[in-house]
Structure 1
Amino acid sequence: MSADTRLEELGVSGLGGVDEPAFSGLAERHRRELHVHCYRMLGSFEDAEDTVQETFLRAWRRRETFEGRSTFRAWLYRIATNACLDLLAKHRPEPATGGEVLWLQPYPDRLLDELPAGEADEPETVAVARETIELAYLVAVQHLAPRPRAVLILRDVLGWPAQGVAELLGDSVNSVNSALQRARAGMREHLPAERQDWTGGEQDAATRELVRRYTDASVATDVDGLAALLRDDVRCSMPPTPGLYVGREAVVNDWVESGFEGMKGLRAVLTSVNRQPAVAFYLWRKREGAYLPLTIDVLRVTAGAITEIVTFHDDQFPRLGLPERLQADGTE
């Protein structure tokens, strides 16, 4: 049952007569998809959480403004988008530059699985949903100015008509169409040249084997073995730590200079993040007598080679549902 159907059952055309518990029940049905929408806009899981809470608060306070001309879901998206734009204007007046996003955070696949099915049976819908949650897309979209970013996500990801986006932003249709053209051009500058360069879809046997080899070489701190798995133009970053390394030589040199080869006592747990393969690494800590969280590598794989590695710090492990420690025998 949709939230909009529920409004009809409550016997109200608007929300003025709905009490707070009933309103919360209606809004909560859309929490996950609103959170993903805000995450695309902001690139930060934590900021998205805060913005969804702000969205629900604004919606409750302005409930009498809902007159039923749009669906309840569309009304919430309108509020959420404007809440994102307000946050960006206050805290990030300038978009990302230089190909890296220092505020980027991962999104757990287990939470993406909570998204409503909608038209998920349609292949193109599935492809769009996957590709627009991958880190390559998130990084690219964060390089757009906030309003063109909102237009791109509303039009190309959510499929809103230009008129609806214009009404949401208080702009003309011509302005929206112009912003969409600029946004698409900006995305082409930062995305892989071809859609097939993205991981996309379910991981096939070849990808799983490549991830296994990457994991084994990492645990063995085998730099040469890792280098053999990288594409010539591989990209590597570690938000929020500044630094984007492009090209196999630059990436390998960074590993060597950081002392990776001398790091012993690693264990790994395979997982998936942002619909991409990921490897969580744990380091042996003698004092605790256990392997404790170190970093998690999220991989983009293209035609049998690793084309991007985004590494996140250990503070992301709890959110991703990863074990807080591994025992000496490698078990949780």
Structure 2
Amino acid sequence: METDTTDLIAQARAGDHNAFRDLVQGHSHELQVHCYRILGSLQDAEDALQETLVSAWRNLGEFGQRSSLRTWLYQIATNRCLSMLRADSRRPRTAPPPPEATLPEPTGAGDAPPWLEPYPDVLLDHLVDQRPGPEARYETSEAISLAFITALQLLPPRQRAVLVLRDVLDYRAAEVARMLDTTQEAVSSALKRARATVDNHLAGSGSPDGAGSSGSGTGSRRPAPQPDSAAEHRLVARFTDALERADLDAMIELLVTDVRLSMPPAMLEYRGIESAQHVLAAAAFRPGRSYRVVPTRANGQPAFGLYLADPHADVHRAYCFLVITTTGDRIAAITSFSTDVMTRFGLPRTLPESD
């Protein structure tokens, strides 16, 4: 295998685009997820990945094989993401209020940044066989959850990169220092501050994972049902049924007492059963509304395309995209995204009237 890689590197250096494609294609999916963790946006992650591959192609002659090809690619991708964060040109600085409904006063400003986007589980299929190293603090599934991605966005860029490289990918401090062109002391200091911020956020975010599955803290939530388990199917069915029957009481029964509702890009948060009841009554469960729901998955969590009946045509039109955070047989958080993200999940803009 090493001989094959060496041959491909030599061919790619000689200008063979096919050899370069074969060389990097096994790393592309994990690099995109890496960029998504740091940037919080699938669109930005795709851009960062393409720029990473272009840079790797142009600079392959400088790859001296002092590290593995994978590590070299991660170094390029990480620094590309940091450059994008410094430029900060893609990110909206203000967010418009949610359309249509007049919502009650939020309980606070939400942590979810305006640029946050969900990540389709279908793109995570290639990561299933990956195992974190012995010192990684976060399992692969936890390190892609919306709560974790949101927590990362609270960190300064360098801290964000250090935490992902150390606690998710399990690179050693000396390796991270070389990748970021800094000292081990600076890496250790950044990691300590980053861990404190992320642990505090996860402990209060509604995430059942608390402060990291492999590190300190266990969290007070019951574990989420296993993906595709009977327990998760029951919860998804009850959530879908409550929406399609416009049954607000049934929906409220599914929520934990300190449930969180957020709706990027609006920097608003509603926390607690009473607040959730008011906002759901003002928005999704207004009289005369009829929905259809299409279940899917995002960030390792149940997700749903929500479609609103058009009173003037025999169709349901895309209304929003929901991702739920589960704990036991209840819902700890609901994050609502605009319809702009739905095409990423293969969801149509309209559904025909059901029979």
Contact 1:231 1:306 in 2 (8 A): yes
Distance 2:8 2:321 in 1: 47
Structure 1 length as normaliser, TM-score?
Answer: 0.89
Give 1:148's match in structure 2, choosing from 145, 159, 162: 159
Q: Are positions 1:326 and 2:351 aligned together?
A: yes
* Alpha carbons of structure 1 residues 245 and 265: separation in structure 2 relative to 1, 3 Å: same
Contact 2:110 2:262 in 1 (8 A): no
Contact 1:217 1:223 in 2 (8 A): yes
Structure 2 length as normaliser, TM-score?
Answer: 0.83
Percent identical pairs in the alignment equals 40
Give 2:234's aligned residue. Answer: 209
Shift of 1:296: 1.8
Farther-moved stretch of structure 1 (316-325 vs 192-201)? 192-201
Q: List aligned pairs for 1:1-332, cutoff 5 A.
A: 6-10=4-8, 12=10, 16-91=13-88, 98-115=110-127, 117-119=129-131, 128-192=139-203, 193=210, 194=218, 197=221, 199=224, 201-258=226-283, 260-329=285-354
TM-align CA RMSD: 2.7
* Alpha carbons of structure 1 residues 201 and 154: separation in structure 2 relative to 1, 3 Å: farther
Gapped runs of 5+ residues in structure 2?
Answer: 94-108, 204-209, 211-217
Contact 1:200 1:275 in 2 (8 A): no
- 3-state SS in 2 of match to 1:318: helix
Q: Deviations over 1:288-329 (max 9, x none)?
A: 532222112111111222100011111111111224432212
- 3-state SS in 2 of match to 1:191: helix
* Alpha carbons of structure 1 residues 185 and 263: separation in structure 2 relative to 1, 3 Å: farther
- 3-state SS in 2 of match to 1:113: helix
Contact 1:130 1:201 in 2 (8 A): no
Distance 2:128 2:228 in 1: 22
Q: Deviations over 1:135-177 (max 9, x none)?
A: 0111111111111110110011111011000001111111111
Distance 1:40 1:259 in 2: 30
Aligned length: 325
Aligned residue identity for 1:105: E
Distance 1:73 1:308 in 2: 35
* Alpha carbons of structure 1 residues 230 and 259: separation in structure 2 relative to 1, 3 Å: closer
Gapped runs of 5+ residues in structure 1?
Answer: none
